[in-house]
Amino acid sequence: MLSKMEPLLSVLDLTPWPAGTAGAQAVRNTVDLARHADGLGFHRYWLSEHHNLPSIISPTPEVLLAAVGAATRRIRIGSGGVMLPNHSPLRIAEAFRVLESLYPGRVDLGLGRAPGSDGRAALALRRTRERMQGDDFPELLDELLAYGGRGEFPPEHPFRTLRALPDDVALPPVWILGSSDYGARLAGRRGMGYGFAHHFSAQWVDAAAQAYHANFRPSAETPRPHLILTVAAVCAETDAAADHLATTIDLAWVRRARGEFRPLPSPEEAAAHPWTPGERESVEANRENLFVGSPATVRAGILRLAARTQAAEVMVTTMTWDHTARRHSYELLAEAWGLGAVTELRQAA
């Protein structure tokens, strides 16, 4: 059984696109992994929003969440997150009320303020350069909450009589997501849960955690602070086996630094890459922000980070080329966390 001091364990699925695999298969892999995570006993399963990024296929989390919800029975499902400035708050409120209607009590609405894309894709989504300038995230958040009945439009607001249907279901719990202390302070002051993107912004984790806890004000929806850390991890039977799988991340990291966004390379492709000393140094530095190894190694590293930041929950994203290895990585983590369902699954196999 889990100790009360240990963080909850959840999944952040970026829908990785392995090289040599059809994009449609990558999407189907997400549904398969969600079903697997549900059986293993993970707490949540969140999907991200990214556009024009060929290494991951996650442009419409709300669409994929409908399929994930149908494939699962217990696990909470949600967005990690929907990039609020890309969309109309009314459209988001409608989509997530529909999801809540289909899967009552299981849906989360995580919101980010970054574009989740390059500048051209963001412009194509927002349709106007004015939307690309400034920071209207707090105003958009207020509008979304007003549609959900957790706030009110001013009397003169042009949208105050609009209804986000179906309005006989509650808007799901709303989370603020971020990669700096900006979102941490906002979430704390609003009395909301906060998710920090350690998997790509590890250098800011301590500042963000401190800002969230220091600014937290209890609310009816969130009476106590709830910090989620999203971490990148690769788990295998041994440290050496996990290290081999993680070479996929190493080569993808180097390519991304050069502005190359390709499907995820295989470990064999990474082994054949002509590594330069500078690339190896960059990879070594990035590995400091990953959790790679056996179940005991990964668990110990994650628990140290969670204790340091007072995180209530850890959400793991695993980017391996091989989908079977990715499934097994989560199996090992579930077993290391004592989630309980792993033993039952193995006995039934």
Give the pLDDT of the chain (349 residues) as one tens digit per residue.
344 579 999 999 999 999 999 999 999 999 999 999 999 999 999 999 999 888 999 999 999 999 999 999 999 999 999 999 999 999 999 999 999 999 999 999 999 987 756 777 777 877 676 655 557 899 999 999 999 999 999 999 999 999 999 999 999 999 999 999 999 999 999 999 999 999 999 999 999 999 999 999 999 999 999 999 999 999 999 999 999 999 999 999 999 999 898 999 999 999 999 999 999 999 999 999 999 999 999 999 999 999 999 999 999 999 999 999 999 999 999 999 999 755 455 445 5
For residue 162, give the DSSP letter. Answer: -
Do 72 and 45 contact (CB within 8 A), yes or no? yes
Record the tokens describing residue 280, joined without a space: 């190896």
C-alpha distances out from residue 157 to 19, 145, 160, 205, 232, Å: 49, 14, 6, 38, 43
Domains assigned to the chain: 8-348 (3.20.20.30)
Record the tokens describing residue 70, joined without a space: 């149908």
Do 245 and 269 contact (CB within 8 A), yes or no? no
Do 211 and 185 contact (CB within 8 A), yes or no? yes
Write down the pTM of the prediction.
Answer: 0.93
Closest by alpha carbon to 10, among 228, 287, 290?
228
- What does the H/E/C string look like for 211-252? HHHHHCCCCCCCCCCCEEEEEEEEECCCHHHHHHHHHHHHHH
Amino acid identity at 292: V
pLDDT score, position 120: 79
Do 229 and 261 contact (CB within 8 A), yes or no? no
DSSP state letters, 187-219 = HHHHT-EEEE-HHHHGGGHHHHHHHHHHH----
